[in-house]
Amino acid sequence: MEKTAGNKGMVLCVALNYGGRAEIVDAMTRFSRTEWARSTGQSDRAQLSRHLYTEGLPDPDLLIRTSGEMRVSNFLLWQIAYAEIFDD
């Protein structure tokens, strides 16, 4: 309790009709239309991340699977690259 006493809240993100692959395709499409991408002809992880649906939110540290399955099921594919997976 002492370690978390300064915490002011949490972020709850609800994804309805969401697919991680579709999100990455949408992000790539929006990214490719930016002036930065057109002028440099390059891609950059930080630049691409700015076009994800979760722009402005921190990447999750923990993915909780209550179903007991050990797969990500097309959920936040880019964002959970370094998250711990907990299965119930």
pLDDT at residue 88 in the model: 67
pLDDT at 37: 67
What pLDDT does residue 26 have?
95
pLDDT score for 42: 67
> In the predicted model, what is the mean pLDDT of the chain?
86
Q: Which residues of the chain have pLDDT under 70?
A: 37, 41-43, 88
**Whether 1 contacts 48, CB under 8 Å:** no
pLDDT of residue 47: 83
The pTM of the full predicted model, rounded to 2 decimals, is: 0.73
DSSP string, 7-57: ---------SS--HHHHHHHHHHHHHTSHHHHHH----HHHHHTTSTTTTS
